[in-house]
Amino acid sequence: MGTNRWTSAGIGDLSGHTIVVTGASSGIGAVTSRELARAGARVVMAVRDLDKGGAVADTIAGQVELRQLDLTSLASVRNFADVCDGDIDILINNAGVMHAPEGQTADGFELHIGTNHLGHFALTNLLLPRVKYRVVNVTSLLSSRGRIDLEDLNWDRRDYSSSQAYADSKLANVLFTYELQRRFTRAGSTARAMSAHPGVAKTNLLSHVTGLAGSFTKLAVSVIAQDVDSGALPTLFAATQDIPGNAFVGPGGFAHTRGFPELAKPPHASQNPERAARLWDLSCGLTNTEFTRPRNF
């Protein structure tokens, strides 16, 4: 489905709305925060580094608030949820790491799945009682390459691959969206969950990529990537436009790497109800959180 060259000018008036954006101190998160605040929303910028986030917040015209959130720590996630006051109209799970060296979160999870999926999974479940309208999970075009192993989520028994770990975590984002929307519907809630990906955009996500392969990847990205403002459009579209739950939004241009946002087909593996439910149950156990009905039902 095309969107007739939709841009952020089509967001509409968001006065009176509160929107939480994770990873708001750079890249797509910073642009998303800027455009939502410009449209009148109160934007809670969830950032790991308050100094870096403050420098970005100072450039934004509108109502923004900084809150510290480190998705590699479930203690930090719980603290954020405890101090995040009032209703939340939209939650945008944007933060992430890409191709990071092998490592673990504070809670012992593989870094990509722990940050990109489990941190946001816990945050969403903890905030759901206050969420009124929408949850947007920012994924990646590489989610289509995900082969998530639910028996070895932390790569304890496999040879580690940072690129595969990233793709798996991004597939997890879309599986999470699928199951979250199913639970919204079953609970009789009008809240919606959707996924969005930026295509290929010039952000700092490739900062961990090194070596010859990394140099080649960065060169290729520099040739085909769109600017970060364009990369943020699918997220903004998913957050603000009247589209169905479980929608998958991405650029409609060349190979879905660039262009104006459109509704696209999600990765086939992400629409498996059994796998989505298994990932949900596993994630609940690992994060000690569970689904609660959102504010709007």
Question: Which residues belong to the active site?
Answer: 166
Maximal C-alpha separation, the chain = 52
Q: What order of strands is seen across the sheet that includes strand 63-68?
A: 63-68, 42-47, 18-22, 88-93, 131-138, 192-196, 248-251, 261-263
Burial label for 127, CB within 10 Å (0-12, 13-18, 19+), is: buried
- Residue 167 neighbours by CB under 8 Å, 6+ apart: 140, 142, 143, 145, 146, 147
State the sign of the Cα–Cα–Cα–Cα dihedral 236, 197, 243, 274: negative
CA-closest candidate to residue 140, choices 92, 97, 90 = 97
**In the 3-class helix/strand/coil scheme, how is 6-19 assigned residue by residue?**
CCHHHCCCCCCCEE
Beta strand extents in the chain (DSSP E only) = 18-22, 42-47, 63-68, 88-93, 131-138, 192-196, 248-251, 261-263
For tokens 């996630």, the residue is 77
Q: Which of 243-253 are b and which e, b meaning 16 or more Cβ less than 10 Å from the residue's Cβ?
A: bebbbbbbbbe
